């Protein structure tokens, strides 16, 4: 589990088919093989750790399925990615609970200044847009954000200066695709509602 509070910006040091080597500022001694780490919001398992120039240099494997459904398929050497270590029990929950399981890709359609902050408008895949609610939470490239407004498949978020400077959102622009994870609670509410609708429909058909 993760919270969407980014703790480092990593850089892709090398890519070999489905293996990524990521340079970070984490202490190598604090990391263990097999641990989970969110890379731009996608939960990946650390398979190898070594000392880098400024911190831990770690490897992760990316399946073809993950590469095709997230932005990870486009990553190349020197790509910067948001990093978050997995949540520890007792740690502060600063964002919202996230699984690191990406639902789909959202496209940035606008970026406008709002004082020192930036307002982004994005379009979500239609099948997930209904799970995004105004004043609810959403994870975009691993960052926990509050939704400002929702209009059809479009929704807006505001990113404060601190987040802009401490994540890769400082470089995001219209046309970019970002990893989208909808609120975990919204998934279960939809599942329950769909189950009740199906049950109600079945009863109605039996009564005919």
Ramachandran region of residue 30, left (φ > 0), alpha (ψ -120 to 50) or beta? alpha
Structural domain containing residue 154: 104-190
pTM for the full predicted model = 0.89
CB atoms within 10 A of CB 170: 14
Residue 207 has pLDDT above 80, yes or no: no
> Same domain for 181 and 108?
yes
CATH number of residue 134's parent domain = 2.40.30.20
The predicted structure's pLDDT at residue 190: 67
Chain segment 16-74, per-residue pLDDT in tens: 988 999 999 999 999 999 999 999 999 999 999 999 999 999 999 999 989 999 999 99
What DSSP character marks residue 1? -
In this structure, is residue 66 part of a structural domain? Answer: yes
Does residue 79 sit in the same domain as residue 36?
A: yes
Number of domains within the chain: 2
Count of residues making up the chain: 208
């Amino acid at each position: 589990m993760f919270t969407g509070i980014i703790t480092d910006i990593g850089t892709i040091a090398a890519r070999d088919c489905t293996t990524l080597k990521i340079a970070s500022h984490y202490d190598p001694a604090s990391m263990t093989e097999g641990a989970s780490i969110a890379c731009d919001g996608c939960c990946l398992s650390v398979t190898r750790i070594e000392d880098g120039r400024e911190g831990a240099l770690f490897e992760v494997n990316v399946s073809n399925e993950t590469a095709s459904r997230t932005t990870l398929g486009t990553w190349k050497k020197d790509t910067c990615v948001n990093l978050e270590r997995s949540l520890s029990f007792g740690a502060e929950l600063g964002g919202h609970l996230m699984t690191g399981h990406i639902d789909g890709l959202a496209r940035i359609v606008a970026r406008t200044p709002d004082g020192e902050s930036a307002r982004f408008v994005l379009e979500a895949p239609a099948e997930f847009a209904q799970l995004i609610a105004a004043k609810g939470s959403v994870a975009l490239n691993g960052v926990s954000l509050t939704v400002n407004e929702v209009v059809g498949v479009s929704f807006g978020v505001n990113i404060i200066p601190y987040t802009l400077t401490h994540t890769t959102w400082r470089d995001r622009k219209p046309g970019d695709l970002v990893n989208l994870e909808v609120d975990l609670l919204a998934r279960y509410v939809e599942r329950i509602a769909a189950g009740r609708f199906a049950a109600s429909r079945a009863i109605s058909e039996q009564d005919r």
